[in-house]
Chain A
Amino acid sequence: MAYTIKVNGVANHVDVDGDMPLLWVLRDVLGLTGTKYGCGMALCGACTVHLDGVATRSCVMPVAGVGNAAVTTIEAIGATDAGRSIQRAWLDLEVVQCGYCQPGQIMSASALLASNPYPNDSAIDAAMSGNICRCGTYVRVREAIKHAAKRP
């Protein structure tokens, strides 16, 4: 089946089964490897992308369901206001360790900040608890979101 999906502002034609998760279309077909595979069951958040600005687990999002939604990945999130401040806060506070989960963390945090410019701890918990970090950067993820909120 052929699908046209708009990723980071570019229309891409892909010929894959409709049940193929967006994650694998991005990584294995389009070569956008910034979006990561972690669990395949929406348990860890490493695969988080935005669909029309909404944080979405691409590992369980069939490509057939994407439709006309604008897909934004880590490669382009820096072009948005929220994404740019989140990325800068991540660098200011030295959030990353191994870095593997961080694209997903940043995508979840950017979506949060875009919809809630001053998130409190419970809003951060709600938005970020689906993103696992085995290096345990949670303390800094939380602080960096608050830091980004302070300095948009």
Chain B
Amino acid sequence: MNALSRRVFLQGGVAAGGGLMLGFGLPTLFGDVMAEGPSSFAPDAFIRIGSDGSVTLTMPYVEMGQGTYTSIPMLIAEELEVALSQVRLEHAPPDEKHYANPLMGGVQGTGGSTAIRAVWEPLRQAGATARAMLIAAAAKRWNVDPSSCHAELGEVVHKASARRTTYGALAGDAAQIPVPEKVALKRPEEFKLIGTPAKRLDAPSKVDGTAIFGIDARLPGLKIATLAQSPVFGGRLKSVDDTAAKAVKGVRQIVRLDDAVAVVADHMWAARKGLVALIIQWDDGPHATLSTEDIARDLEKGTLDAGAVAQNVGDVANAMTGAVTKVDANYQVPFLAHAAMEPMNCTVDVRKDGCEIWVGSQVIARAQATAAETTGLPLDKVVVHNHLIGGGFGRRLEIDGVTRAVQIAMHVDGPVKVVWTREEDIQHDMYRPYFFDRFSAGLDAAGMPIAWNHRFAGSSIIARWLPPGFNNGLDPDTIDGAIDLPYDLPNMRVEYLRMEPPGIPTAFWRSVGPSHNVFVVESFMDELATTAKQDPVDYRRVLLDKSPRARAVLLLAAEKAGWGQPLPKDSGRGVSLQFVFGTYMAQVAEVEVSKDGEVRVRRVVCAVDCGSVVNPDTVQAQVEGAVIFGISAALFGEITLKNGRVEQTNFNTYRVLRMNEAPTIEVHIVKSTEPPGGMGEAGTSAIVPAVTNAIFAATGKRLRKLPVDPAELRHA
């Protein structure tokens, strides 16, 4: 989320919002010291230096591919002057007082491309503070001036007397040193780790099969369950005939819930066979006839009414009356599934006196809370072991899978691992919302926009997920990428109508609000350029005089892509520009459209200015991956409902990009010492309009509804 969400959540005084600094104050420091004994000390809730010299970082974020297990320790290691390999990671326990993410409204969460942005200063402060205390302890021991000592590779060195001592030997003494109120952070030119490609710490275990994801949890006596939930959201279980299922070898138990049924077995195959053998009657409930078309029609109608004003600059209505040319366009984006490679799963052991959970979660404290609520146990009787996540993309910001697994486990004696089939995973996802957008613009005689009107309707995730973040009909995520555009638009009005679709749950999806807004804004901007008969890059450039960083990435991407150079027949280039997640990004996509309308993205060039870069290799990898993720959505991604049921089932009907369809991807990173921006998601929102704008360049066909429909692109 962008800087706005920080303002809203922090200045709004959401109580837990200041979580980041909680552990950093003196009282907590000494509290921790007392608790842990004199031989180790904790400059804050995040770092522990043991008397054996070990440096342990209590990791508030979970690794799901974004490289956070490498980039976050880099911040500590840089200022603490230890090798990156010296830092050990421990998952933070569920504890929103100490480990809340201030950029996620005080939720202990990993998401929204917030991790580096949230801890860039504090973690380096913590490292520098610890280093200063270790140096002070050594200087005291040697009776020398601390300023005559320095730290390197886990040791304090007094050069003049050629003495050196390890951090481990100093940790006990350092705990007795008063915490300095202010420590100087390194200047960027002094960085040894930050800005230099670092090897991922989680890579070795991920290439030899030893990495343990939630789905790999193993326990003595573990049973495996799989489930069927009501095929229509909001439906109920009417009856189950389990005669045949019980006869399947290895099936142990059938668990009936209000709106689901699970088969518990010795292994997944028996559970799956048992599930297929069940004869289930559902009461479909109120959404039995719902279709996506119904939802789209309602949203379209909704945008005829005024919405909450997300941004109002100048006087659009007045400016429109003076426009020489007017442009109108409507856009729609579909529901999308996450389809992470690791299907939903959660292992639970419910006992009389407690509950233990093994799961990969982006919100571990919420996982704990739902288990406590579901079982009726006190919070402190619920232990959650977080795991590597086999693809999050927002899906693991939801706890429905944990709740479900606990409901099942309450009927089972001993631990049970609930594994969703791929079909269940896709048909009971919580989806990127459907949006309907209405645009109108007025252009002056030179073709430049003097009025920009954008109104859209769809679900607000924040309103459900973090209600205090939804105010006056708005939330910072849903409008992110639609307001505060990098362009200088003298008259601009953006309105949003919250309309929750019936019968289908919605959730965050990689690149969140911008996943929708950047597509529509950058498509419409392209339409304006076309109307003005101007080059799409030139047209944007003229509007960027007040945003030099945006202008720079636009021009860099265009230059590296060879913008304007000839392409083969039926090919085209498209551009996009965005400022979201605190990061400036421009992309140029090259596509080729076959006679039968199939789109092939051949090459993508990305220029990015994400401020200070921690691990450049991760920045590049995140763009590469986010681009592939976005192309999947642009070309294939669509969840549809028919008779209340999700029509897609597996990777054959919910297609994603494959190796033979992947473009080459070039990433150009702008050098900068500005504060870091988020990098986990930006590439996804940026690629979608770059692709559709390229399709327009290749075919003259403007696509206003995703995903791309090859039938619209067939040509001779």
Measured CB to CB, the residues of A under 8 A from B are 16-17, 19-21, 24, 27-29, 31-41, 43-44, 46, 73-75, 78, 87, 90-91, 94-103, 106, 124-126, 128-142
Query: Which residues in window 415-453 of B have CB below 8 A to A?
Result: 419, 421-422
- A41 CA to B267 CA in the complex, in Å? 18
Contact of B207 among A24, A43, A87 (CB under 8 A): A87
Contact B628 A138 (CB under 8 A): yes
Bound-state Cα–Cα, A75 to B627, Å: 31
The stretch of B210-218, B370-378, B568-576 in contact with A is B210-218
Are B390 and A100 neighbours in the complex by a CB distance under 8 Å?
yes
Q: Is the CB of B388 within 8 A of A21?
A: no
Q: Give the residues in chain A near B626, CB-CB below 8 Å.
A: 136
Give the complex CA separation of A91 and B64 in angstroms.
17
CA–CA, A102 and B204, complex, Å: 11
Per DSSP, chain A at the interface is loop
Given contacts A33-B216, A125-B659, contact A140 B209 (CB under 8 A): no
With A24-B269, A136-B657, A137-B624 as given contacts, are A98 and B629 in contact (CB-CB < 8 Å)? no
Among B15-23, B456-464, B648-656, B695-703, the stretch that binds chain A is B648-656
Instruction: Give min CB distance, A83 to chain B, whole Å.
Output: 10
Q: Which residues 616-663 of B sit at the A interface, judged by CB distance below 8 A? A: 617, 621, 624-629, 650-652, 656-662
Give the 10 A-B residue pairs with the shortest CB-CB distance, closest first.
A34-B209, A136-B628, A100-B390, A99-B206, A98-B65, A97-B65, A74-B209, A28-B267, A136-B625, A33-B216
Contact residues in B for A139 (Cβ distance below 8 Å): 624, 628, 662, 664-665
Chain B residues with CB under 8 Å of A31's CB are: 218
Q: Digitize B686-713: 1 where CB-to-A-CB distance is under 8 Å, 0 elsewhere.
A: 0000000000000000000000000000
Which chain B residues border A33 with CB–CB below 8 Å? 209, 212, 215-216, 218
A133-B341, A136-B657 given; A100·B213 CB < 8 A: yes
Question: From residue A87, how far is it (CB to closest CB) to chain B in Å?
Answer: 5
Q: B341 contacts which of A21, A95, A100 (Cβ < 8 Å)?
A: A100
Chain A residues with CB under 8 A of B650: 39-41, 43
Q: State the CA gap A135–B340 with chains docked (Å).
A: 8
Q: Is B400 an interface residue, CB under 8 A from the partner?
A: no
Main secondary structure of the interface of B (DSSP, over half): loop
Known contacts A39-B650, A128-B659, A134-B393; is-contact A17 B625 (Cβ 8 Å): no
Q: B211-235 vs A: 1/0 string, CB under 8 Å?
A: 1110110100000100000000000
A141 and B657 alpha carbons, distance in the complex (Å) = 14
- Assuming the contacts A75-B208, A99-B65, asked whether A132 and B341 have C-beta atoms less than 8 A apart, the reply is yes
Tell me if B326 counts as interface (CB < 8 A to partner A).
no
Please give, as numbers and ranges, the residues of chain A lying within 8 Å of B422 by CB-CB distance: 38-41, 44
Q: List the B side residues contacting A36 at CB < 8 Å.
A: 215, 341-342, 390
Is the Cβ of A124 less than 8 Å from the Cβ of B203?
Answer: no
A129–chain B nearest beta-carbon distance, Å: 4
- Output the nearest chain A residue to B197 by Cβ-Cβ distance: A94
Inter-subunit contact A98/B342 (CB<8 Å): yes
Which A residues lie within 8 Å of B389 (CB)?
98
Closest to A62 in B: B269
